[in-house]
Structure 1
Amino acid sequence: MAGSDYRNSAKRDPLSDSADAPKRRYVTVLQITDPANASKAFPEVNFDWVTLGGAGRFFVKRVVVDLNGCLMVYHFAAHPGRSRSQPAGPHRVVVAFSPSATGTLDGREITPNMLVTGKAGIRTELVAGSDYRAILFLVPPGDVESHLRSRGVGPDFLYGEIELVQSLYRWGRSVVRAAEQNPELFEENRHIREGVRRELIERLGETLSSTRDLPPRDAELTRVNHSRLVKRTQDYALEHIDERIHLADLCHAMRVSERTLRYAFRSVLGMSPVAYLSRLRLHRVHKSLKEAHRQATTVTAEALQWGFWHVGDFSKAYKECFGELPSDTLAHEP
């Protein structure tokens, strides 16, 4: 069905879903301006987003197209950020990136000829630059697993010919754009959804079969190790959030020097360990305040819970990060 015109398909086969069937959304368009809502309307993948820019610098657009058991998701992030994501459902996830996308994934540089595969339980750490764009294809495991097993390739970083990989991205982007501009075609006609689903499986199979798994280059290996160190440090800091942890404590726990830890954070996130972990805790407070009822908690209680001992300094840093005072966030009912 390659190169099909889905509008013409609708005209040729007008059979649509029964009006008596329960209403289900097949096209969802979201414009997200709050990092606390990063996983909104997309339970198949858990996102934990931390902004790396200034106040109010968060905008994500997400378009989700449901294709009768498969999903196609267009993801655009306007500003730099760190996203820790993990598939939560049974799907196998395959990610293709736009040619202009910049950043790293688990320390590996994002390139136009890269595909990344993942499944439930596999957590990845994305550090995205400005104007980040990617397409996520979520398919039943059996539809793509054979292409991986037949070559002995695990769910990791796969590389192929740029034109073939980018052809998959462009095709996915065109389908998502058509669904966004003409949602009624996908909402009302199951034959269109099924046709796109079948073409998706064919294109994924063809593209995956042409890729190969490559280990990190020597130049990348240091950054990959730094990414692992940053993740371990972050996990440790969150596990000991009720303690007053200093940089020396983190270095002792990670068994590295202060210079090594500072360099790792700078190379991966562009921030010092103290600055980043403070921002991470600000996002945790922000999420707690967004989900809380005014009668159930206070700004001071939430700040103290996440290790901010000076409420005045906390409020200033919070406003610089989110563009509003913590009391304003709490005032909005969830």
Structure 2
Amino acid sequence: MSSISVLQYRFRNSEALSQAVNARRQTTIRQLSLNSLQCNLLLIENESISFSFTETSCPLHVAGAKGQGCLEFSFILQPGQQDFFAYEQAIPQNTLFGFDPTREVNMIVPGQSMICVAQIRRDVFEAYADLMQRSDLNMHFFKTNFITIPTMLSEVQAYLKRLYSIALHQPEYLTQSRLPQRGNCFAFASPHLLEDFLPLLIDSIPNPAAELSLQSPRRFSLVKQAEEYMRTHLKAPITLMSLCKALHTSERPLTYGFREVFGVSPMAYLKTLRLQAVRTQLQLADPAAAIAEIAHSYGFQSLGHFSRDYKTMFGELPSETLKQGFKS
């Protein structure tokens, strides 16, 4: 097996995070709150298997294509301030999800949470499943995309937490031939990640796997309608009252829905959309462009308040974004 690399990053904006995770996939990661983002990303990679551990202070929306020729398995290692959502479903912590290769990524990761995504070459996974006589782990199983396995999944999660801790604090251990076994966790090291992790993962999936019925929050549809309305009216004056009127709803269900799904109020979410739109314009603008004019076009009347919120969300001033966009 080829050697494993361990890479650690810290990010203050979601664009840089997107670039770091896109070596093996093509996804867009978008911050969903106005708070300052503190995100730790740890990657453990080789040619057959990779693990990405993402720990975030703010809620994030992740969407886009998965890696070609790979299977991806997602694990919640630390629940957040709100539920995880994947494919518009609320995901319990004891759920293995996201492994349908025909579906693109569509996930909301809450703030103060940690998620691990294991990306495995499909031919490698199929070879291990065949060796373990698990013919049930076929396309019919993959298309279910979700499975709750409370007892066995906890062993996989414990393994991943141990792997994360070693990679974070003692990455040099992953170059050794073998680590001593600790408690109930499997022993592992870089040449043995596949031999340890894949049997553990495959054994955790019952045969036959029970169908899992997940439900979207009853207000999810309303939240999606509101988000679409915001996106198509970013430059128009929008108040909470006018938004409710346009959607034929009242303030209470709309506010509860946004807090349940995104962890923020509707108007705070609208501000994040507008700040991101301004950022895109600044990245494309001529360096002589007037920042105030662009900001005003998206409803920001106070340049001081706008600049403060912009720096909090993206970790830099609007003028810095303008200069960097011109250089690139």
Q: Same fold (TM over 0.5)?
A: yes
In the TM superposition, what is the alpha-carbon distance from 1:302 to its structure 2 partner? 4.1
Does 1:310 find its partner at 2:306? no
Matches within 5 A, 1:67-146: 67-77=46-56, 79-90=57-68, 91-98=70-77, 100-106=79-85, 108-118=89-99, 119=101, 121-130=103-112, 132-141=113-122, 143=125
**2:184: which partner in 1?**
none
Q: 1:272 aligns with which of 258, 265, 273?
A: 265
Q: 2:18 aligns with which of 35, 39, 44?
A: 39
Distance in 1 of aligned mates of 2:2 and 2:121: 24
Q: Which amino acid aligns with 2:61?
A: S
Does 1:195 find its partner at 2:192? yes
Contact 1:47 1:84 in 2 (8 A): yes
In the TM superposition, what is the alpha-carbon distance from 1:168 to its structure 2 partner? 0.8
**1:28: which partner in 2?**
7
Return closer, same or farther for 1:206/1:67 CA change in 2, 3 Å cut-off: farther
Is there any run of 5+ residues in structure 2 with no aligned partner, and where? 130-134, 178-188
Is there any run of 5+ residues in structure 1 with no aligned partner, and where? 1-14, 18-24
Return closer, same or farther for 1:160/1:69 CA change in 2, 3 Å cut-off: same
In the TM superposition, what is the alpha-carbon distance from 1:147 to its structure 2 partner? 4.7
| Secondary structure, counterpart of 1:39 in structure 2 | helix
In the TM superposition, what is the alpha-carbon distance from 1:46 to its structure 2 partner? 1.7
Does 1:157 find its partner at 2:142? no
In the TM superposition, what is the alpha-carbon distance from 1:81 to its structure 2 partner? 1.5
**Deviations 1:232-281 (CA, angstroms, capped at 9, x unpaired):** 43234224434445556655665545543333223333433222111222
In the TM superposition, what is the alpha-carbon distance from 1:153 to its structure 2 partner? 6.2
| Secondary structure, counterpart of 2:104 in structure 1 | coil
- Overall identity of the aligned pairs, in %: 20
**2:318: which partner in 1?**
326
Contact 1:147 1:205 in 2 (8 A): no
Distance in 1 of aligned mates of 2:229 and 2:313: 23
Does 1:230 find its partner at 2:223? yes
Distance in 2 of aligned mates of 1:278 and 1:126: 18
Does 1:205 find its partner at 2:187? no
Distance in 2 of aligned mates of 1:302 and 1:200: 50
Return closer, same or farther for 1:254/1:148 CA change in 2, 3 Å cut-off: farther
How many residues align structurally? 300
Contact 1:251 1:258 in 2 (8 A): yes
TM-score (norm 2): 0.73
Q: 1:175 aligns with which of 152, 155, 163?
A: 163
Distance in 2 of aligned mates of 1:174 and 1:93: 20
Distance in 2 of aligned mates of 1:252 and 1:92: 44
